[in-house]
Amino acid sequence: MAAGQLCRLLRGSTTHWFTPGRALEEDLPVADRERDVATTAVARHEDVRTAARQSWRCSRELVVEAAARWSTEYSVGLHDEIGAAPAGRWPGRPTLPVAAIWQ
């Protein structure tokens, strides 16, 4: 599930489920819209890296919120491991194709 869809599910706004960016201004609170904007960028290296880091943070926040609301579980350790990985690499795991964005 994409972060946009999870956000819509958490906010009870699933009308635009298949196109989560549609009608964002009318459907979601300001804080969610601002968080969404922070996860997008033009195709410039530094902007893409910043947007990717923001996207990771946004996704983590939404997963934590969803887990608390619906009493589900997720791998906190895996989230921490990925978030702490220097350049997207860590022992015993393959190199992530987007490794450069975490630097």
CB 16 within 8 A of CB 65: no
Average pLDDT on 44-68 reads 87
**Nearest CA-CA partner of 59 in 101, 19, 3:** 3
Lookup result for tokens 């298949």 = 18
> Across residues 49-73, what is the average pLDDT?
89
Distance between CA atoms of 50 and 48, rounded to whole angstroms? 5
| Alpha-carbon gap, residue 99 to 88, rounded angstroms | 4
Q: For the chain, give the number of residues.
A: 103
- Percent of the chain residues past pLDDT 90, beyond the cut: 17
Of the listed ranges 18-22, 33-37, 73-77, 93-97, the least confidently predicted one is 93-97
8 Å CB contact between 55 and 49: no
Instruction: Tell me the whole-structure pTM to 2 decimals.
Output: 0.62
pLDDT of 90 strictly over 70: no
Q: Which of 4-8, 9-13, 20-24, 44-48: highest mean pLDDT?
A: 9-13
Per-residue pLDDT, averaged over 19-41, amounts to 84
Q: Of 6, 40, 41, which is closest to residue 20 (Cα–Cα)? A: 6
Return the CATH class of domain 3-102.
mainly alpha
Cβ 8 vs Cβ 64: under 8 Å: no
